Amino acid sequence: MEKVIDESIQGSALDLVSKPENSKKLFIESYGCQMNFSDSEIVASILAETGYNTTKVLEEADLVLVNTCSIRDKAEQTVRKRLETYQVAKRKNPCMKVGVLGCMAERLKSQLLEEEKIVDLVVGPDAYKDLPNLLLEVEAGRDAINVILSKDETYGDIAPVRLDTTGVSAFVSITRGCDNMCTFCVVPFTRGRERSREPQSIMDEIADLWQKGYKEVTLLGQNVDSYLWYGGGLKKDFVKATDLQKATAVSFADLLDRVATAFPKLRVRFTTSNPQDMHSEVLEVIAKHANICKHIHLPIQSGSDRILKLMNRLHTREEYFTLIDNVRRIVPDCAITQDIITGFPTETEEDHADTIDLMKKVRYDFGYMYAYSERPGTLAGRKMEDDVPQEVKLRRLREIVDLQQIHSAERTQAFVGQIVEVLVEKESKRSKAEWAGRNSQNLTTVFPKGHYQVGDFVNVLIHRCTSGTLIGEAVGYGSMQS
């Protein structure tokens, strides 16, 4: 499992259209990956049916929920600091209830109730449907905890409330859990084994989004390429499936093709991919459809075969290069982004040099780079000594980040003088006179507003750029404009 952490949205609180019949206030904020933000939408949808409207004012909330991440120690420390803030608010409003959701809840369980005296309920990522019952327990004066992991897709019948209140882009979860057991990752223990969502429920949700005017969906999962529907159950049990189930199974390539074919004017993204599960069939589907974005997030974690083996990554450096070559051949205009962890236990300067060398050969468009942080409960945390000094980790991280910035600038510069199709998402942060959106390769693009509106597909001639942003002017509507 790979997680993409967007630092700019950490701690975002939902603020949704109120139902006049609801009388209680919910304050819910999220940390971590896109799965957590998607799950917060589901939670808001469930609680909207039990009398809660969202608020962005912490002090007026009847219920405060924080959706948490366990992938890095920094994320957990941030949540603990937020709990201190909630405690201050609860002193002023003693009736306020506070809950911890998500991966941190799953990992720490009752410890949260014992150590963080402010916490009233702890809910794991597969137990959100049980929230109304858990809240009744809290109202009765009891602490409430449910961190049971489900063997089935849990939220296929819940229509999530959308984080994007502009109605442009939405996440659609297609898998939950992960089977890969990377030694640095806590997700298989917090989100359970891998299971896929029934394809028709996915198509129905996307159809509903299209009817509501959404212009882009992101198919979301810990490992989307591993999607496999054969009638339900865990992916690892597919070997026990009947001949009919195997013959009619739906792979990720099948699902992606169905979505793109059924909604040709809807832009489609997906994240996150895992190198050993990204097959040429998926690349052929991307190349076939103009509405599938030309961007693949393809984490490598290390350029060293020795470290990859210690991480239990199920591919080698050379196999990864072969995959990159296939992407460049089949989808030549595809952006490729990465995750890299530096300072993994026993990492040497030679291992680090292998990572630098790999980056120079691939020349990623963008990347998410971290110094290794030992996570309790992982195999690495239990079996491996965190023996790389912090100053060495940070120096190696700085070298990787500096190199990625050079490559990002090169990749962005290549768009200058070209026309790119941009989906207008919001007003530019730097100027109210400009729109901001992303092109197919996921690069933020800004241009003067003119007569265009949020939700329009606009062709933009790129005049200049920064390392991560394209700057240009509109030259007409794009081919995706309906």
Which residue did the predictor score with more confidence, 72 or 251? 251
* pLDDT at position 450: 96
Strands in 408-479 per DSSP E:
419-427, 434-438, 444-448, 457-465, 469-477
Higher pLDDT, 211 or 376: 211
CA atoms of 443 and 418, how far apart (whole Å): 13
Indicate if the pLDDT at residue 422 is higher than 80: yes
Residue with tokens 């265009």: 452
- Per the model's pLDDT, the better-predicted residue between 352 and 71 turns out to be 352
This prediction has a pTM of 0.80
Helix (H) / strand (E) containing 36 = helix 34-48
Q: What is the mean pLDDT of residues 45-74?
A: 87
Q: Tell me, what's the pLDDT at 2?
A: 42
At residue 33, does pLDDT exceed 90?
no
Residue pair 172/220 in contact by the 8 Å Cβ criterion: yes
**Does residue 282 surpass a pLDDT of 60?**
yes
At 127, the pLDDT band (50, 70, 90 cuts) reads: confident
Residue 429 has pLDDT above 90, yes or no: no
Which residue is it, tokens 């009919």? 244
Give 1's pLDDT tier (boundaries 50, 70, 90). very low
What SS3 state is found at 107?
Answer: helix
Q: What pLDDT was estimated at residue 160?
A: 66
- For the chain, what percent of residues have pLDDT higher than 90? 61
Smallest CA-to-CA distance from 268 within 305, 230, 311, 218 is with 218
pLDDT tens sequence across 226-267:
999 999 888 889 999 999 999 999 999 999 999 999 999 999
Distance of CA 313 to the CA centre of its chain: 20
> Is the pLDDT higher at 217 or at 376?
217
What's the average model confidence in pLDDT over 48-76? Answer: 86
Question: Looking at the predicted structure, is the pLDDT value of residue 364 above 90?
Answer: yes
Cα radius of gyration rounded to whole Å, the chain = 22
CA 134 to centroid of chain Cα atoms: 27
Q: What is the pLDDT of residue 7?
A: 61
pLDDT digits (tens, 9 = 90+) for 436-455: 999 999 999 999 999 999 99
Q: Is the pLDDT of residue 41 over 90?
A: no
Percent of all residues in the chain with a pLDDT value above 70, rounded to a whole number: 91
Whether pLDDT at 66 is above 80: yes
For 226, phi and psi rounded to 5 degrees? -90, 5
